[in-house]
Structure 1
């Protein structure tokens, strides 16, 4: 039934008309906000289709006067080696971090051992220490191991210290009913069987969220390759972008074309994991 307007509100048609106006203003505000977020992406793609002279003469225009794909061909000649290095590191980071974070999150959520909550607080507190504080000691240690100018410093520390991933997995495991675990123990299942056959299949949304965050973090890492890698053939795509910048001149269209190519894998991964990602972030915050 239609709502009956209260005295002083006007007729029903007037109330509906006001609601339509307010709804239109709301959608207009959201569209303006969305355009504000999308404009840098639109500008980047438009600039990647410009010539060098046009990019300098009209840098703010979003419609190229004479679109060209030459910048993309030039970028594709430079990026392949760097691209596969980034893919390799992203895979190692995601795989390693998912294993460690899921095991640690399960232990903090389901296992009882002395000092569990204190250790978990210490793990979370470690995230408050800025990375730059222990960068030099870390470099000295990796140099002693012979890891400098290898890919080990770019994935082993991240995979072995998954603070955010552990927190997210713990929160998700806390939300799984204990009755499932108790039923499995009655049937004779041990702890590892419960973890691998009951908990992990249910934790797909949280795993997808952790994997996506880890992939983006690894893909965008610039400081790590600059510090630990010396060989050009081991560098990653963020470093490759610097090749389009010179001391006195920057190839802005080429840089934008390379940046557009680089964000495609992140966009594809997000589309594939979007359903699980949103569900995992929401469900992981239900319990404390």
Structure 2
């Protein structure tokens, strides 16, 4: 039989908390932050400090010109506009479709609803790389190369968002929705007046995940876009690498990468308080 020390701040309890909680959390934070910190520091390094067998942590001197050089070599304003259009429109439609689909799977009665849900789950098991060639053939046949809708259209379905919102909608109080139905509120009114406000944390989580995915998506925009004026920021970094020699490009590419990451970090910081609530809102009932 295991004995538990009755004193919260006893040595045994403190050591147990450190080993079981703080040490794993610290290791996880270091795994995430160390590469990001090295990326930021390397964006200020000169080529000799980056290409060396000796570990150089701090730049000496700080090479701020990397950012100016990156902005000069690649049209970042145009790339930023392209990424912003693709992210806002693509993520917005994804969230809207996830909300409507999840509502139908929970509150609308229709035959085969369980099988539809299983089909949504099946999409989570298919790697996105498998659909690149069929999507390219289809979009190209419609004239979607080097267009915004050609970049956005293939990724509009979100199995993860539908699944997460379905689980969140299952946790909503059924009495409130039944009372609204008795009062004559239709599906559309119940969805936007009741379900969406009550499930706001989960919806914000889905929105954040889709924003990050759309902003950082590299493979599909690389395949469907060949015109530099239609490239998104991640694809535009390849132009930055190609414009420089291999030895001199690392610091400049890392400076461009930091410029790409900053908007996502700002959005993440603004919505981070919703993440834990949104991910755990549907974790009980299946």
Superposition TM-score, scaled by structure 2 size: 0.89
Mean alpha-carbon deviation: is it higher for 124-133 or for 190-199?
Answer: 124-133
The 3-state SS of whatever aligns with 2:257 is: helix
The 3-state SS of whatever aligns with 2:172 is: coil
Residue 26 of structure 2 corresponds to residue 31 of structure 1: yes
Residue 170 of structure 2 corresponds to residue 188 of structure 1: no
Residue 153 of structure 2 corresponds to residue 156 of structure 1: yes
In 2, the alpha carbon distance for the partners of 1:201 and 1:234 equals 36
Which among 95, 114, 122 is matched to residue 125 of structure 1? Answer: 122
In 2, the alpha carbon distance for the partners of 1:185 and 1:35 equals 50
The ranges of structure 1 where at least 4 consecutive aligned residues each deviate by more than 6 angstroms after the TM superposition are 3-6
Q: Note closer, same or farther for the CA distance 1:123–1:65 as it changes in structure 2 (3 Å cut).
A: same
Matches within 5 A, 1:122-271: 122-159=119-156, 161-246=157-242, 249-250=246-247, 251-271=249-269
Mean alpha-carbon deviation: is it higher for 272-281 or for 97-106?
Answer: 272-281
Gaps of 5+ in 1: 7-11
Q: Deviations over 1:219-259 (max 9, x none)?
A: 11111111111211000111122123249615111111111
Superposition TM-score, scaled by structure 1 size: 0.88
- Contact (CA 8 Å) 2:170, 2:285: kept in 1 or not? yes
TM-aligned CA deviation for residue 30 of structure 1: 4.1
Gaps of 5+ in 2: none
The 3-state SS of whatever aligns with 2:226 is: coil
TM-aligned CA deviation for residue 53 of structure 1: 2.2
The 3-state SS of whatever aligns with 1:245 is: helix
The 3-state SS of whatever aligns with 1:57 is: coil
- Contact (CA 8 Å) 2:237, 2:256: kept in 1 or not? yes
Which structure has the larger Rg over C-alpha atoms? 1
Q: Deviations over 1:39-76 (max 9, x none)?
A: 11111111111112222236632211101211112223
In 2, the alpha carbon distance for the partners of 1:99 and 1:73 equals 39
Aligned to 1:73: 68
> What is the CA RMSD across the aligned residues, in angstroms?
2.4
- Contact (CA 8 Å) 2:49, 2:56: kept in 1 or not? no
Mean alpha-carbon deviation: is it higher for 220-229 or for 31-40?
Answer: 31-40
Q: Deviations over 1:177-206 (max 9, x none)?
A: 111111111222111111111111112111
Mean alpha-carbon deviation: is it higher for 109-118 or for 123-132?
Answer: 123-132
TM-aligned CA deviation for residue 171 of structure 1: 0.8
Q: Count residues in correspondence.
A: 279
In 2, the alpha carbon distance for the partners of 1:102 and 1:49 equals 43
Q: Note closer, same or farther for the CA distance 1:121–1:4 as it changes in structure 2 (3 Å cut).
A: closer
In 1, the alpha carbon distance for the partners of 2:18 and 2:177 equals 50
- Contact (CA 8 Å) 1:172, 1:284: kept in 2 or not? yes
In 1, the alpha carbon distance for the partners of 2:250 and 2:239 equals 11
TM-aligned CA deviation for residue 34 of structure 1: 2.6
Residue 103 of structure 2 corresponds to residue 106 of structure 1: yes
In 2, the alpha carbon distance for the partners of 1:189 and 1:180 equals 11
Q: Deviations over 1:99-127 (max 9, x none)?
A: 11100000001111011111111122133
In 2, the alpha carbon distance for the partners of 1:191 and 1:262 equals 40
Q: Note closer, same or farther for the CA distance 1:243–1:197 as it changes in structure 2 (3 Å cut).
A: same
